[in-house]
Each structure stands twice: as C-alpha cells, then as structure tokens.
Structure 1
Amino acid sequence: KELETHLKRYALQEEFSYKKTRVDYHLSQDKMKGLTAEQKKHEIKRRTYEFIVTRPKKENPIGITSIKLEYNHEMNPLVNEMALKFWKFTQPMLNDVEFYVKHETTNDVPSKFFGHINKICKEFLTPHILAVTQNQMNHLFFYDAYLMDRNFIQQSMIRNIQNVTIIEIWEIKLELSQTKSHFVILMIDGNHFCTCNFLISFGVPCRHFYKVLRKSPEAKFHISLINQRWYYDLKLSITDEELALLNVILIVEDSSEATVYREMNFNYIHQVRDGQVYTEKLQKIVSAKVKYGRSLRIARKALDLAQKLNYYNELNEILQTEEETANQNKKQKVTNLELEHTIENEVNDGDNKKQRRCKGCKGIGHDLRNCKSKPLSERN
C-alpha cells in the first residue's frame, strides 16, 4: 500500500499516466519443463498488482539500461525501512526481462551495430532485399558463437576448400539449444562459407555470418558478397573494377601490431554461384515488373487520397478522359494503317492492270505477239 501511494504521487509529480492491474506471474517455459504439478505450484510466484506508468511520446523515451536485483525506488524516502518488504528478482524474472529487452529492441540493430554496412546496403539494395538483409542482422543476438579447431571439423564439410586458405572456423548455436548448430568458415581472401547455404541460395549473407562479424577481426563485409540481381537498376551497370574500389568493412578491429594485409578476392563466391545469371533479358523482365508495381502503388495511393478527400467524381472524370483519349488515338492509328493498306493495294492493283501478262511465257510487260521466247517466224 505504501509503495502504491508513493508511486501515485511520483507519477503525478513527473506527469506520468498511471495504471494498476492484477496479474499472475509464471515460470518461463524452459524452467517449467521436467517439473511435476506439485513443484510447479510451489515455483509459481504471484504478484498481486502490476503498476504501469507511461509518458507522452513527445518526451524523451525511458528504457531499461540496467537491472537491480531488488525492488528499489528513488522516490521512496524510507528505503531502508521499506526495502525488506520487497523480494529480490528471481532468475526466471531476469530471464524474461533479458528476453523481452532483446526481442523488443532489435529494430535498431542494423543502424546501431552495422552502421556502415547498413548505409551501403541502402545505397545498393532494393527495399525488399534490404529488409531481408536487416532481418538477418536482427537475429544475430539470438545465437552464440564459438571459435573451433580446424582439425575438429570433418573433411567432408570443407572438401571444396583448400585447407591453407582457411583462417578460422566458428560454430554458431541458437541460445539454449544443444543440438542444432551451423559452421562459418572464414577464408584468407575475404570469402566465407556457412553450412546454412543462405549466401549461395538467396544471395545475401546469413545471420550466422553477422554473428561472426561481431566477434572476429578476420570477418569482413563487402557489397560484392550480395548478388548483383538484388541491386538497384542504376547500380547494375557498375563494373568489377569500380566494386573493388569500395571499402571493405570490419566491425572488430585487430589491435595487434602484426596485422597482415590481405587482398580481397570474391572469385570463390562467384564460382559457387555459377557466374552471373542476371542477364540483360532478365533485367528487362524484372524492370517491367517493377514499373508495374510502382504504377499500381501510385494508383492505390490516388484511390486512398480520393476516398479521404471525397474526390471520386474528379478521379473518375480524369480516368475516363484519359481512356477516351487513348481509345481515340488507338482508332486513329488503326484508321491510318487501314488507309495505308488501301492505298498500297490500289496502287498494286493499278500497276497490275497497266502491265500486260504474256500467255506464252507468263511474263509481265508484253503480250504473246511480242514475246521474245516465241520463234521469230511465229510472231508475224
């Protein structure tokens, strides 16, 4: 009751909105596994009330920056007397807080942790593929990465890669998962290979590579890792020499003095992808689809705007006028073509009428009497 009173006063003073609801708190799912019904009953913690305070969006946002293992509030002047009344955070509470903080704050991962990579991806990639790439970045925090010994990996996994070109091998596991894992192999020329094959099948780096990118100074990003079929139309004409001049991006800098410069070469990726299949013919097909999609999006916006402003009649009048104009132009074009064909046929008919056809040799321009193929004695 004392906490509720102090919290209410604090909310009024700081211009918070105030809400109180009754809730039940249960263990997280991973902790519930393997417990009997009696054990679950004892483990469940009940909180009588939950207090929610919010501030307007125009104010500076307030987020979780750290976790204290006990309920404590600066606005309470009697902390020493009141502290014993409030229990400490249990481990399930801490797990849930960590889980929700991770999952609710992943939207800014590309800009916060991959600023340079996100910037160049926005410059080169179409919106749909940019969203796919950013989604792979968002999921890296749900995985753990472990540096592996090269001799531990089965040779069948790296039979297509020369052992001398391998720098590091990383094992990537989903958090709390002890079964499924993927391996990311970093090579000396800047290439990498992941057992999920997302880079090969989809043409963009996977979440496992972004996890390693946050861990190893040997992991490098270059826009050439992303297949050119996902580039904007204006970037499709860029040459390999121009791409090579773009910066190679490292997230973890190597602080050691014995840093060895290695030239970047993505021929391995191009070989595995079987060359550049995005031909000029496919570019034209995709370009036509993109234009149709943009036009349809503009048409939808126009309909939404007409609905909001109640301008249906004006929009219909514009569309009908354009349709009538298009039909008139089409009819005029057909009429012109018909006229051309008619004139051409009349000219041909006139020419055919003027020219004579020989009954002997079937030639044009003379008759049987003047036919050169007829013997001279028969002409007279």
Structure 2
Amino acid sequence: MNKKNITSLATFLVVGLILILNSCKNENKEKNNSNTLGTGKEVVKTVYASDVIPFFDDWKLILGDGSNVGHANNFENKDFFYTTNDGNSDWIVFKAPNGGDTHGTSNNTRTELAQVKKWYPKTANDKLTATLKVMNVSATGDARVAATHAVVVGQIHSADAHENEPLKIFYKKFPGHTKGSVFWHYEINTAGDDNSKRWDYSTAVWGNDFSVVGTNANTYPEEPKDGIALGEEFSYKIEVADGIMNLTFTSKGHETKTFTKNLIESEYTTTADIPGQTQKLFVPIGQDGVERKNAYTGEGCFFKLGAYNQTNGKSPDVNKNWCSGAETHGGDIKKQYSDGNYAEVWFKTASITVSDDAVSNEGYFTKND
C-alpha cells in the first residue's frame, strides 16, 4: 500500500472514531435530558413520602392545620409533610406549629399518621417500628410546664370510650441545651364516666422523664448527660401481644432500653397506687383519678406516628403540665417557622404489622375529623 493510501485510511479511521464518540455522547445527552419538557431545563421528579416508606395504605394523615387528607400516597404539603435528603438518605418530614387548627379535641397541632384499623390489646399481635431524628422543638414556652419544648413521635391511642393513650413517646429539649430527653408515657384509662381526673406516668429512656422542669419560666434544669441531640437518630419498636406491650429503644452510642407494660390489668386501681411522680405533677391540679381494673381491655387501640407538638400558646394558669404559654404569632405558620416555634421530626424507616383480628377504625375519624 502506498503512502497516499495509508494516509487516506488513517484519515478515514480517525473521522469514523470521532463520529462514533459523538454518537455515544449525543445518546448519553439524550438519556440525561429524558426528564425535560423541551425547554432544556431538567424536570426534577418529586420524591413522595410513599416512595420513601411504602406503607401509607395503613394510615390516614392528619396535617398541622387539623385536616385529614386520608391515605398519603403520592402526596405532599410543603407546610407540614414532604420529603428531604440529608446527603445520605431520603427522609419524611413532619412539621407542626405551636399554634393553629387542631384535630379532634386536642389543644395541640399535629402532623401525624393515624392507623386506619384498630386492634384489641387482649387479642393483639401488632407492631410498629420507626427510625427517626427530631430536628426542632419549640424555641419558646414556660420552662415550668412539663410539656414545653416537647414533641410526641409515636403513640398507641384508644379509639373508644375516653379515647385515652396507653403510650406516648416523647422527645424534649430545653433551649441552650445540646442534648434532650426521650421518655414514654402511660395514661391511665380512668374508671367511671369522668375522664377529667386522668393522669400520665412518665418513664425515662435516655435523659430525664416528663417531671424534670425549670424552677421558673426561663430557668432550665441541668442538661441530661446521656441524652439525645437534635438531628441524632434513634429507633423505637412497639409490640403488643396477648395484652402486653413491649418497647425497645435503640440509638448508636447509647444503651438499648426495653420496657414492658400490661395493658389489660391495671396497677393503679386505688388512690394508694398513685405513684410519687403523679403526686407531684397531677394531684395538685385535681388530676387524681384511679384506673379501671382491666385497663384497656375491650377497647380498640391503634398506632400513631409523626410530629404531635406538645407546646402550645395556652396559659400555664389553665394547666401547668400541658399549657405552655409559647409564642404562636396568632396562628401565623410562616412567622412560627421563621423563629423556631414549631416541632419538626424526620423519619427514615418505619414498618407496621397489623393482626388478622384488627377491624376498621373509621368510627374514630368520624368522631374527630
């Protein structure tokens, strides 16, 4: 082959290689632009909560404005319920301001999932698990009020009779502290028809329990040494079977804690059974009731999960345990969000197991929506 032919062949091969590379580049470009609408701008696909944790057929979603949006598949609301990514994982965000419209008879706002079925503790075989981190609790509130600067992140709720709560899982952190406390409550299922004398008993998981409060409105107790910081992950597992509730709490770098509570046989049936913590917190304000002997037997119960803000704007003179006197800006959500007067909880994983004996919980929503 002469020199001229060799040169022509080389040129042909180079041109062919360039065409092939350009073709691959264009193909990749077309793939990368597959989410465009002909404008050259990439369309960002919305990641819904149901993409992160696909279990929303088992729940109805209550928002921080008191509305019930039903099943939250392919749903978001940028004020209360949406997803975010922290650089490692997708999370579901639940937000609830200090003041606004509430659901049912509660004084507090919530963005929370409520189970669409109810189960009975004596025949239950039901479970809820979650991994989460609390990102914000209210910046204001009377430090002497036990519920101030707190949010409930998981519950068992009764759908019947007094609609009391055999379980509430709290996170609470005072302003200026790095670490907060995780604790859980059992609320008695008050004997008789008058539920005004009901009370909670609080058990510490990491840090303090509910009863540790400030000495005055703006003076805070000592920071817990073994507490959980904002943005620090922890997990809970709630299992109810044959009338017994078993709780497990885990977090990296913290001791795993387990607890057991009988939901069908009360330990608080006489005045003498009222524990010292309750004598300190609730008895002075007239909440000194006793519990039904069979506790929550025969009542349909259901799980809740999300951000149930425990801080509100009501005066502590009304109830020194639950009325926080916090800033609400007259219910203006944007103002509350701008200066930290809200609760925000992120969930990374969660699961629910529903027993075969569970039945529709629609009656609860009919009463409370």
TM-score (norm 1): 0.22
Q: Which has the higher contact order (CA 8 A, sep 6+)?
A: 2
Larger fraction in helix = 1
Larger Rg: 1
Larger fraction in strand = 2
